[in-house]
Amino acid sequence: MKTEEKKRGSSSRFWPWMIASVLFRLLLVYFSKNLHLSSRPEVSNPLTSLRRLAEGYWLKQLSVSPYAGSMYHGSPLLLSILGPLTALRLEGQPEHLLCSLLFVLVDIINALLIRATGRCLQVAYGQSLKSLDLVKQSETSGIILSGDLAALVYLWNPFTIVACIGLSTSPVENMAVIVSLYGACTGLVPLAAFGWVIATHLSLYPAILIVPVILMLGCGSDAPPNKVFMQKKHKKSDTQVIFSWKRPVRFLFWSIMWGIYVLVLCGISVRQYGGLWEMIRRTYGFILTVEDLSPNIGVLWYFFAEVFDFFRSFFLIVFHMNILFMVLPLAIRLKHRPAFMAFVYIAIIAIFKSYPSVGDSALYLGLLALFANELAGKWWILFIYFICSVSS
């Protein structure tokens, strides 16, 4: 009864804070012209700048390839969706007002999905405690409603607000990642596959999230390691987590179907501008080769501005393989907690990707609150939280 009352009380406190965050964003949108956030390198980079997207849409309207020159390097699907909004002008209103309102809506959807994901993870966390006969202890100590907390942390994170008001497309990329995690946590295989395909299509790096997503679909989002059951002297046959291949196979099937569908749409969009190969070269090739060395919050632009051309290819391979080298060890160590593994992967991507922005940091810093129960009492995590914020 106390737990139910606590949930109702937390929900009643969640909505006023959420509405306040929306009103705060709308207020900043009205004064966005004076803030000049869209020109800040911390907010917009060559892949997330709405101004570059508007330039690409303008070129496409003139029957010129949107990838002509060196302005636009994003998805043609994103160009088709956001491009018309950048061309609309409302008299007496801030520039790109409709895009700003759309990004506010995307932030709201992201927060609600994080909240729903947090509730699913909390149920899995409670089941883990129940399997270890710790339910009474958890009820007396109190379980933090991590979903509500994570949603509010995401909404009120200055990085999230700046990315939204600064007309960065990062919130859209973040939404695809969150949709994939939500689908994996709730067992909605087509939704998880759709989110993963779109996230990979938009920024490439989320491809490594296929590991935690498959584990979440195969054995659940949270479970104590088998050695804990051995220490508790449980019967292994009753408590051992068994991996089921049914959902992962369906996930791979739906991923292939969604991937083909996205490629077909992209092929139709760029068929008169060089086709899919030109799109891949101008988007994924641009990400991997780090052609634009304009300053951002990452380290690759500075490093490759200083390195000799003779060593450039070698260090490109080293920097990108650095992310892949972390995938397997983390998967082995955190295979029983794939949701937390996904959070770690997202943090690694935000720190080591070639063109990071504050929108990438906003996602993993918000997702950290999903694990408030597991990290409760561990004050050292606040130090890591601060270091990650500064480094990103």
Average pLDDT of the chain? 83
Residue predicted with more confidence, 388 or 129: 129
Q: Is the pLDDT of residue 171 over 90?
A: yes
**List of E strands, the chain:** none
3-state secondary structure of 43: coil
Residue 105: predicted pLDDT? 95
Q: What is the mean pLDDT of residues 160-184?
A: 94
Q: Is the pLDDT of residue 389 over 60?
A: no
Residue 190: predicted pLDDT? 96
Could you read off the pLDDT of 289-317 as tens digits, one per residue?
998 888 888 888 888 888 888 889 999 99
Residue 156: predicted pLDDT? 94
Q: Is the pLDDT of residue 128 over 70?
A: no
Residue 140: predicted pLDDT? 39
Residue 236: predicted pLDDT? 47
Could you read off the pLDDT of 68-82 as tens digits, one per residue?
878 899 999 999 899
Could you read off the pLDDT of 72-117 as tens digits, one per residue?
999 999 998 998 888 876 555 666 788 889 999 999 999 999 999 9
Could you read off the pLDDT of 325-377 as tens digits, one per residue?
999 999 998 888 899 999 999 999 998 999 999 999 999 989 988 887 777 66
First to last CA, the chain: 42
Q: What is the mean pLDDT of residues 234-245?
A: 62
Q: What is the mean pLDDT of residues 37-53?
A: 88
Residue 219, both tokens: 């054995």
Question: Which residue bears the tokens 């590991």?
Answer: 211
CA distance 376 to 60: 52
What angle in degrees, to the nearest 10, is found between the helix axes of 170-186 and 338-352? 160
- Whose CA is closest to 145, among 378, 384, 385, 376? 376
Within 132-169, residue ranges assigned H as helices are 135-141, 146-156, 158-165
CA distance 76 to 290: 20
Residue 244: predicted pLDDT? 84
Residue 131: predicted pLDDT? 62
Banded pLDDT at 253 (limits 50, 70, 90): very high
Could you read off the pLDDT of 136-163 as tens digits, one per residue?
544 434 556 788 999 999 999 999 999 9
CA distance 99 to 101: 5
Residue 237: predicted pLDDT? 44
SS3 content of the chain, % helix, strand, coil (to 5): 75, 0, 25
What angle in degrees, to the nearest 10, is found between the helix axes of 170-186 and 189-203? 150
Q: Work out the angle at residue 361's Cα, subtended by the Cα atoms of residues 358 and 365, and round it to the nearest 5 degrees.
A: 135
